[in-house]
Structure 1
Amino acid sequence: MALRVTNTLTGQKEVFKPLIPDLVRMYVCGPTPYDHTHIGHARAYTIFDLIRRYLELKGYRVFHVMNITDIDDKIIRRAKELNVPWEEVPKKYTEEFLDIITKLNIKMPHVMPKVTEHIEEIIEFIKGLIEKGYAYESHGSIYFNVDAFEDYGKLSKRKHREEWRQEEEVLKEKRKPYDFALWKKAKPGEPWWNSPWGSGRPGWHIECSVMSSKYLGEQFDIHGGGQDLIFPHHENEIAQSEAYFGVKPWVKYWIHVGYLTIKGEKMSKSLGNIIPVYEVFKKYKPEVLRLYLLSSYYRSPMDFTWEGLEQAEILYERLVILTENVKKILREENVSHRVGYDVRAIAKELSSIRKGFYESLDDDFNMAKAMPYVHRFVSFANKVLEYKPIFPVALLIMEFIKEMNVVLGVLDKHLVPTTDVEKKLNQVIDAIVKIRHKFRMEKDYKTSDWIRSELAKVGVKLFDTKDKTTWIIEY
């Protein structure tokens, strides 16, 4: 089945074909680091990590660029609130953002350009738009002349000029209420750079046109971001870029992630319902949050609930236990001499699960459709393990765990090669668990609980069933 992607530009689900065969050039709008990274941000970047990982799994080479907007009105306001130099704000919150995406196992983009490092390129781009008749100077600022670009509104499907109004705080300076700033005249007490039009700083939208084209070329394959960026940000990017380069479409596929809501409402400071990622990390492992954020279809709104995280934690623990149990089987001596059963039937079921998993992801990266196959796989694999499978069967299960994890990205710590020292450690833990099991069978619960408690202190978590105890190491 060919990969199909929903393209915001056309409103259609299209067969994915990059401009250059086997190479995908992808730009994702990055953060404006003026405050803590919240779970809405985390959803967007986790989804684009899923997209990148799945494209790579399908054999594409992906070149991924994500900007950092390190100068912006919000940053300036935040610096005034905190009474600190403006540079300290993006520095602090960029460090937090990078720490969070590392914990969420989001692959680092190949390039993360910052606005302040591309001022010269931005000025040259604006000069080009002026020369081509798409921009004008007014009161020391430069504005894009929207009327000069005939396709304006094609991304957001806004056909009427009244729907284009933006940046209304500077209406008197603009020819039309829907024109937007490319360069903002400096204000007292705010950061500025020299330009042919006097001191000032870039507008919001111009940075992405400049930095994406610098690293990906005049046309590229995927441009992504949150649904809230469709208008005006991405609409304005298209206008700037297609006007400057004279190419259509500037980007082949536009992909947007739906809103993350709390009890059906968008997160906002006024409602007091913003949840920073680090608050979630106090209660749940990053892998659990990642699995939760991946569990829904990316284009649909996702209503955040703590109950949903609890369910994700259950699935995560089942995946970890399964992985560790398969590893133990593969470590055991003489495993290949065990009496087996119908390997073909097992392989057939695993193949069916794999097919369903891939077909779901080929349908616009639809993890909501793929997750039932993850659950089905875990249940089936656990059932197989109950019968002490022969080596080839355990190997089949492990190979699919690894393959699935390329996309899920939650089992990396449990899939690293085992050293001789780790093998000895596992044998020691197995011996302790067997001793504890003996105490449980003798109903000496005080001793068995003490052993559980002592193991937990060093990161060994036990799972008791009626007949046996399994364990994992928590990292």
Structure 2
Amino acid sequence: MLRIYNTLTRQKEEFQPLEPGIVKMYVCGPTVYAAAHIGHAMSVIVFDIIRRYLEYRGYTVRHVMNYTDVDDKIIQRANALGVDPFALAEAHIQEFRQHLVDLNVLPASANPRATRTMDKIQAMIQGLIDKGYAYVADNGDVYFRVTRVKQYGKLSGRRLEEMQAGARIEVGEKKEHPMDFALWKAAKAGEPAWDSPWGKGRPGWHIECSAMNLSELGEQIDIHGGGNDLIFPHHENEIAQSEAFTGKPFARYWVHNGMLQLGGEKMSKSLGNLVTIEEFLTKHGADTLRMLILNASYRAPITYSEESLHAAEAAVERLRAALRAAPDSAPGAATETLTALAAQAKATQEAFVAAMDDDFNTAGALAALFDLTRAINTARDAGATVRELLPAQMTLRTLTSVLGLRLNARKAADARLDDMVALLVEVRAQARQQKNWALSDFIRNRLKELGILLEDGKEGTTWRWE
């Protein structure tokens, strides 16, 4: 039984989709005004893993991830660069799409854009006005009236009275209440604008997602996801306006990932403490970033450091090493060894499902996979043939693919590392021939400290990651 932590209720709940066998999942995508960083990658990878596991469990997943392609940040950035804001957004969308391919993220069922959903956005705003949940200010702005929503703050756990304390109405704003938020912003000189019943202008950020969601998935969805930095105000406001418009509960499960931290702070463009996806992929494989995320709870903050990257890379190599073929000269393993290997493959599959059913506990799932890698390596060392290892290796390959790990994509840097290790093995072999046992042991011990095990056999020395 799959259980998911629901931010709305602050507890794990049994997962029951609105329609049996079908999951409608909306995940907030990036605002495309600058190069995406690995904090953005973390969110898309988390929900890629969730989607992959739901599909492994037999669900058909309708997965929607939007692009916010008109926003204050895009306009400000375009003005600073002296470029067209639509051209800027389009360039970063195409760049991000390639990053998703590089990161082995499954394509979403749909990638709506705010600029292509304008009719639906305006229809939703008008509906909220007609119902008394929104009002048109005399300057052409349209605001949502938060005081009409009795449970405003139910997602974030904030009370309206507490939010109001310290809040203020900025100069030029025509709000009834300090916490009212913009649904439509009247046109300003030099900014993109669309015709509307309230005059030329553009939509606010929150209404864009609600309208795209409604357009692609309908009035109610199963999972709404995003980073936990979106809980307030973005997702809180989405709930308020969507439920006011439809009169129905919006999303059954609100799922939020933690932040990727660099130097103890959230990685963000505004703080400038970021590593872009492009920069990361020039130095590391996509599996390394995914493993960094898999090693922790998706709801917890993850520390990005050289130490955590090294641990992630070593973990990937352990899995990859377990998939290598047995030597052609393998004589075959004893019956009890093969029986133990088959039993471990079955136990691993059961433990994997049990862990993932517990709010996508990827760290627990990995622990089960490493139990299987040890069993595979033990069987190989005991002489198991390619055919004897294959069933357990297929189980390992299947389960790692559920987590989105490729394991077979080696970077050029990895190939150079292979060459360097092979050279050290060759030097050690010469030292052994010369009976220079001190040098031989030194090379073996130093490589072991780096996570590389040497195995001496009749036909020479082989190596693998520990």
The residue aligned with 1:428 is none
Q: What CA deviation, in whole Å up to 9, does each residue of 1:44-71 have, x standing for no partner?
A: 1100001000001111110100100000
The residue aligned with 1:397 is 392
Write the mapping of 1:176-325 to structure 2, written as runs, cut at 5 A. Answer: 176-247=177-248, 249-268=249-268, 271-325=271-325
Asked if residue 366 in structure 1 is aligned to residue 361 in structure 2, the reply is yes
| In structure 2, C-alpha distance between the alignment counterparts of 1:349 and 1:444, rounded to whole Å | 37
- C-alpha displacement at 1:4, in angstroms? 0.4
Quick one: which amino acid aligns to residue 133 of structure 1?
A: G
| In structure 1, C-alpha distance between the alignment counterparts of 2:407 and 2:122, rounded to whole Å | 44
| In structure 2, C-alpha distance between the alignment counterparts of 1:203 and 1:210, rounded to whole Å | 11
| In structure 1, C-alpha distance between the alignment counterparts of 2:269 and 2:250, rounded to whole Å | 35
The residue aligned with 1:48 is 47
The residue aligned with 2:380 is 385
Q: What CA deviation, in whole Å up to 9, does each residue of 1:273-327 have, x standing for no partner?
A: 22212222222111211211222101111111121111111121222222132xx
Tell me if the contact between 1:166 and 1:180 (Cα under 8 Å) persists in the aligned partners: no
Quick one: which amino acid aligns to residue 401 of structure 1?
A: L
SS in 2 for 1:206: helix
Quick one: which amino acid aligns to residue 163 of structure 1?
A: M
Q: Which has the larger displacement, 309-318 or 12-21?
A: 309-318
Quick one: which amino acid aligns to residue 344 of structure 1?
A: T
The residue aligned with 1:81 is 80
How does the TM-score come out when normalised to structure 1? 0.84
Tell me if the contact between 1:142 and 1:181 (Cα under 8 Å) persists in the aligned partners: yes
| In structure 2, C-alpha distance between the alignment counterparts of 1:66 and 1:434, rounded to whole Å | 45
| In structure 1, C-alpha distance between the alignment counterparts of 2:282 and 2:64, rounded to whole Å | 30
The residue aligned with 1:123 is 122
SS in 2 for 1:255: strand
SS in 2 for 1:375: helix
* Alignment RMSD: 2.7
| In structure 1, C-alpha distance between the alignment counterparts of 2:423 and 2:46, rounded to whole Å | 45
SS in 2 for 1:87: helix
Q: What CA deviation, in whole Å up to 9, does each residue of 1:130-182 have, x standing for no partner?
A: 11111000010110011111121111111233316878536741000000000
Instruction: Return closer, same or farther for 1:243/1:435 CA change in 2, 3 Å cut-off.
Output: closer
Asked if residue 143 in structure 1 is aligned to residue 136 in structure 2, the reply is no
Instruction: Return closer, same or farther for 1:264/1:442 CA change in 2, 3 Å cut-off.
Output: closer
| Pairs aligned (count) | 431
Q: What CA deviation, in whole Å up to 9, does each residue of 1:241-296 have, x standing for no partner?
A: 1011011x211000000122123222345654222122222221112112112221
Tell me if the contact between 1:319 and 1:378 (Cα under 8 Å) persists in the aligned partners: yes
Tell me if the contact between 1:323 and 1:414 (Cα under 8 Å) persists in the aligned partners: no
Q: Which has the larger displacement, 54-63 or 391-400?
A: 391-400
Quick one: which amino acid aligns to residue 195 of structure 2?
A: N
SS in 2 for 1:33: coil
| In structure 1, C-alpha distance between the alignment counterparts of 2:453 and 2:278, rounded to whole Å | 28
Instruction: Return closer, same or farther for 1:8/1:170 CA change in 2, 3 Å cut-off.
Output: farther
Tell me if the contact between 1:185 and 1:201 (Cα under 8 Å) persists in the aligned partners: yes
Asked if residue 11 in structure 1 is aligned to residue 10 in structure 2, the reply is yes
SS in 1 for 2:154: coil
Quick one: which amino acid aligns to residue 194 of structure 2?
A: W
- C-alpha displacement at 1:18, in angstroms? 0.5
Q: Which has the larger displacement, 203-212 or 400-409?
A: 400-409
Quick one: which amino acid aligns to residue 335 of structure 2?
A: Y
Q: Which has the larger displacement, 62-71 or 297-306?
A: 297-306
The residue aligned with 1:27 is 26
SS in 1 for 2:49: helix
Gaps of 5+ in 1: 416-432, 446-461
| In structure 1, C-alpha distance between the alignment counterparts of 2:82 and 2:388, rounded to whole Å | 63
- C-alpha displacement at 1:435, in angstroms? 13
SS in 2 for 1:21: coil
Write the mapping of 1:330-341 to structure 2, written as runs, cut at 5 A. Answer: 338=332, 340-341=334-335
The residue aligned with 1:458 is none
- C-alpha displacement at 1:32, in angstroms? 0.3
| In structure 1, C-alpha distance between the alignment counterparts of 2:27 and 2:144, rounded to whole Å | 23
Q: What CA deviation, in whole Å up to 9, does each residue of 1:70-101 have, x standing for no partner?
A: 00000000001111111122112112211111
SS in 1 for 2:122: helix
Quick one: which amino acid aligns to residue 352 of structure 2?
A: F
SS in 1 for 2:405: coil
- C-alpha displacement at 1:377, in angstroms? 2.1
Instruction: Return closer, same or farther for 1:112/1:269 CA change in 2, 3 Å cut-off.
Output: closer
- C-alpha displacement at 1:359, in angstroms? 1.2
- C-alpha displacement at 1:360, in angstroms? 1.2
Instruction: Return closer, same or farther for 1:258/1:347 CA change in 2, 3 Å cut-off.
Output: same
| In structure 2, C-alpha distance between the alignment counterparts of 1:383 and 1:301, rounded to whole Å | 35
The residue aligned with 2:132 is 133
- C-alpha displacement at 1:470, in angstroms? 5.3
Q: Which has the larger displacement, 393-402 or 434-443?
A: 434-443
Tell me if the contact between 1:321 and 1:470 (Cα under 8 Å) persists in the aligned partners: no
The residue aligned with 1:173 is 174
How does the TM-score come out when normalised to structure 2? 0.86
Quick one: which amino acid aligns to residue 242 of structure 2?
A: S
- C-alpha displacement at 1:391, in angstroms? 5.8
Tell me if the contact between 2:32 and 2:74 (Cα under 8 Å) persists in the aligned partners: yes
Tell me if the contact between 1:186 and 1:192 (Cα under 8 Å) persists in the aligned partners: yes
Write the mapping of 1:349-364 to structure 2, written as runs, cut at 5 A. Answer: 349-364=344-359
Tell me if the contact between 2:25 and 2:61 (Cα under 8 Å) persists in the aligned partners: yes
Gaps of 5+ in 2: 411-420, 434-451
